[in-house]
Amino acid sequence: MKTRVEKQSTVWQSNSMGCFDKLKLKLNNFVIDQTINYLGHNFNKQKLINLAKIFEKIAGSKGGINHARRMQWLFESEHPHLYWWKKILTELHPNCRNKWIKNFFVNGYYGDNLRKRSEFNEKNGFFPPTVLLASITKNCNFHCKGCWAHEYDVREDLTKEKWREIFTEARDVMGIHIFPIVGGEPFCRKEFLELCEEFNDCTFITFTNGSLITEKTVEKLKKLGNVQPMFSLGGMRENNDKIRGEGCFDMVMKKMDMLKKAGIFFGSSITVTRENCDEVTSDEFMKMLSDKGCLWSWFFHYVPIGENPDVDLVPDAKQRQQILKAVYNARNTLPMMTVDFWGDGPEMMGCIAGGRQYIHVNPKGDVEPCTFVHLATHNVNNCTLTEALAAPFMRAIRDGIPYDDGNMLRPCMIVDRPDILRKYYEEFKPYETHEKAADYLTNPEITAKIDKYSSDVKEILDVDWRNNLWMTIFPLEGEYYVDRDTFCSTEKPNGENAHKCTGLCAECGK
């Protein structure tokens, strides 16, 4: 167990850079640009291996080097991840393809953000996050069960100028180039795409209900290239529409077809509950997403916040094992990236909140440690993002990870380690960013249920942790073959056999 965690370092930290390094960086950027153009629409395995080798050379962190080596090995062994890249290279519009590679991978993890992160650390004594989650507006034209957006008042939305300031500080001071956008419904706000245009070296992974994406929006997205819509889904037609509204499933399918045809990078965002778990973890559901053209699918567990929080909807321990397996299986058989919000805790070395890997700015400017922790001590209307990150509340969250026993399969301080969040709440006295936001910490009815939930989960997931039952996002050589037998239903990828699977793989499924 211990060796595994050590082996897979995802700590994206670097040493400081000298003049020579800066020159090298410029050269690297030039080489990357040329390589992306050279990769063009001609899929070639060797070219991708070469690209991974370039990433390895320009990586300024241990995590970056490991990641590039893993990619190299996955391409060489013809892991289905190779076919994910094939789709990116051959099916995306050139502008969307180039912006995805450049803005997400190079600028997000390999470019001069490493220098900025290092400078930031020298000055402030801590590394900034790699991702800034922005709730660009509270406004939404839907009213889905379990959503937190309705807790905020739309009149309090930050101005466009303020968002510009926040993104500028994040990018220029902290080196952040990855901005997941949530809401409300981001496309409700016209100025959102104007900001994406201004920050055209950044990537905007946009969580959307899809309803406001018109033919005109598609044209705009193609031109921008740096916006990746992630469609919210709660299951197949019946289950989805029960939560999200009549006709919503068919509408999303139609929008996916429009984006696929236009060559725009898109994906899906699934909220898994105790009720829809079987359906959304089924092979059929995963294959449907991949066939529709989703290049990325996020699996978020329902978190008991928002209107009428219901702890009984949070997936139980067995279901969390089920989600993990399904996500591993899809990741290793389909040309689609899948992420399990809690199950991939070991990959992220535990909870990512508090600015450790990400931070959330809500629609009215409160800086929250996590999208699901609606508590803050700072608001960007009165301070910089750096000051908010330096707050004792945030520092304590970052410094507290990993937790005591190190089990990263139970990473969440809301439902897995409620005592920890309660302790921070007591000690730092953050304010609630909307009414009843701290109910899951103070309301005895809810806290009793959360305590029971966390001890049930502990019983099962501690055994899994001790038995090493987890897998990295991009497995390391050796690890892959061992773990696939445990987690995946398909044959080992080996040369031409890479495509032989149970029918899940888009390559042979067609």
How far, in Å, CA of 363 to CA of 465, rounded? 37
Bond from prior residue into 304 cis (ω within 30 degrees of 0)? no
Residue 139: how many CB atoms within 10 A of its CB? 18
Give the DSSP letter string of 72-108: HHHHHTT-THHHHHHHHHHHS-HHHHHHIIIIIIIII
Of the two residues 397 and 488, which places its CB atom closer to ligand SF4 in the complex?
397
The verdict on 349 binding ligand SF4 (CB under 6 A) reads no
Among 48, 131, 353, 457, indicate the residue that binds ligand SF4 (CB under 6 A).
Answer: 353
Of the two residues 327 and 498, which places its CB atom closer to ligand SF4 in the complex?
327
Closest CB 358 distance from ligand SF4, rounded Å: 7
Specify the DSSP element, H or E, that contains 388.
helix 385-389
The verdict on 140 binding ligand SF4 (CB under 6 A) reads no
Of the two residues 157 and 416, which places its CB atom closer to ligand SF4 in the complex?
416
Closest CB 433 distance from ligand SF4, rounded Å: 14
Of the two residues 89 and 352, which places its CB atom closer to ligand SF4 in the complex?
352
Among 58, 334, 370, 473, indicate the residue that binds ligand SF4 (CB under 6 A).
Answer: 370
Near ligand SF4 by CB under 6 A, which window of 93-101, 270-278, 348-356, 476-484? 348-356
Question: Which DSSP category does 12 fall into?
Answer: -
Tokens 């400017």 sit on residue = 365
List of residues 6+ apart from 506 with CB closer than 8 A: 83, 290, 291, 334, 335
Tokens 């699996």 sit on residue = 299
The verdict on 175 binding ligand SF4 (CB under 6 A) reads no
Bridging pattern class, strands 358-361 and 131-135 = parallel
CA distances to 326, 344, 350, 457, 474 from 317, rounded to whole Å, are 14, 14, 17, 5, 24
The verdict on 352 binding ligand SF4 (CB under 6 A) reads yes
The verdict on 256 binding ligand SF4 (CB under 6 A) reads no
The verdict on 311 binding ligand SF4 (CB under 6 A) reads no
Task: Residue 442: name the closest of 508, 357, 375, 490 by CA.
Answer: 375
> DSSP 3-state assignment of 443?
coil
Of the two residues 248 and 272, which places its CB atom closer to ligand SF4 in the complex?
272
The verdict on 413 binding ligand SF4 (CB under 6 A) reads yes
Among 106, 394, 414, 505, indicate the residue that binds ligand SF4 (CB under 6 A).
Answer: 414
How far, in Å, CA of 104 to CA of 88, rounded? 13
Among 213, 227, 359, 412, indicate the residue that binds ligand SF4 (CB under 6 A).
Answer: 412
The verdict on 363 binding ligand SF4 (CB under 6 A) reads no
3-state secondary structure 189-210: CCHHHHHHHHCCCCEEEEEECC
Closest CB 348 distance from ligand SF4, rounded Å: 9
Which tokens in the block code for residue 343? 């199950």
Of the two residues 170 and 414, which places its CB atom closer to ligand SF4 in the complex?
414
Near ligand SF4 by CB under 6 A, which window of 238-246, 346-354, 379-387, 453-461? 346-354
Of the two residues 209 and 357, which places its CB atom closer to ligand SF4 in the complex?
357
Instruction: Name residue 91's amino acid.
Output: E
How far, in Å, CA of 186 to CA of 239, rounded? 24
The verdict on 411 binding ligand SF4 (CB under 6 A) reads yes
Contact residues for ligand SF4 (CB under 6 A)? 303, 351-353, 370, 372-373, 411-414
